[in-house]
Amino acid sequence: LQIKQFKLIKTEITRFMMMYKFALNELETKVEILQEEFQLLHDYNPIEHTKSRLKSPESIWNKLKRKQGGLSFDGIREHVKDIAGLRITCSFLSDIYRIRDMLEAQSDLKIVEVKDYIQHPKPNGYQSLHLIVEVPVYMSDGKEFACVEIQIRTIAMDFWASLEHKIYYKYNETVPAQLLRELKEAADAAAALDRQMERLHNEIQSIREEQEDGEANELTR
């Protein structure tokens, strides 16, 4: 009987994780569609790359312990909303909010939480737009809703976050104050670079539009 019970639990856990994998697959397809259509309509691709990941059972358990104080399978959905994660790296700052708007407009997706670390960066300088999105997943016995954490950021924000993550782990979680100050300065420099690239992008777009208007006027003359 114990082996039978163990097998049932194992299948249930695998099925639970599968649901998050399917939710990620659905979102990835949605983002690919937006990307291709945007390229066709506007002649540029606002997304540099995407990366998805499923949290390991060990880190789900650790987060649950931290949040709930105890361990109960029932608390997972409520307390761990980032089991499935999708990171979208955009070219420009304005693309981040454009992608957010396009996802928000999809009636089968429900944005249940927004953390705007761009308007309100973390004290260490971390910037990104985080959305928790509920994705409907059609399983054999009906519809389920799975939460996915979407992190939307620019290349500069991604560069900073990836390296900060590495530095942090290298120093075994006790980062010297001087290093923290320099990391914050680096985050500020990345943010300044984003603003500069956004300005250049807008200027070039206006020049292009003026040229296209001029060419259209020539043709109608």
The answer to whether residue 161 forms part of the interface with ligand 0O2 (CB under 6 A) is: yes
Is position 124 an interface residue for ligand 0O2 (rule: CB under 6 A)? yes
| Helix 155-170 / helix 177-220 crossing angle, nearest 10 deg | 160
CB atoms within 10 A of CB 94: 14
- The Cα 23–Cα 20 span in angstroms is 5
Which residues inside 64-93 make contact with ligand 0O2, applying CB under 6 A? Answer: 82, 85
Known catalytic residue at 149: yes
Both tokens of 53, joined, read: 């990941």
Sheet of strand 84-90: strand arrangement: 47-54, 84-90, 142-154, 129-139, 110-116
Among 84, 126, 127, 147, binds ligand 0O2 (CB under 6 A): 126
Is 20 a binder of ligand 0O2 (CB under 6 A)?
A: no
Interface with ligand 0O2 includes 21 (CB under 6 A)?
no
Please select the residue that binds ligand 0O2; options are 110, 130, 184, 201, rule is CB under 6 A.
130
Q: Give the nearer residue to ligand 0O2 in terms of CB position, either 46 or 85.
A: 85
CB atoms within 10 A of CB 33: 11
Hey, which residues are catalytic here?
Answer: 149
Interface with ligand 0O2 (CB under 6 A) = 82, 85, 115, 122, 124, 126, 130, 161, 164-165
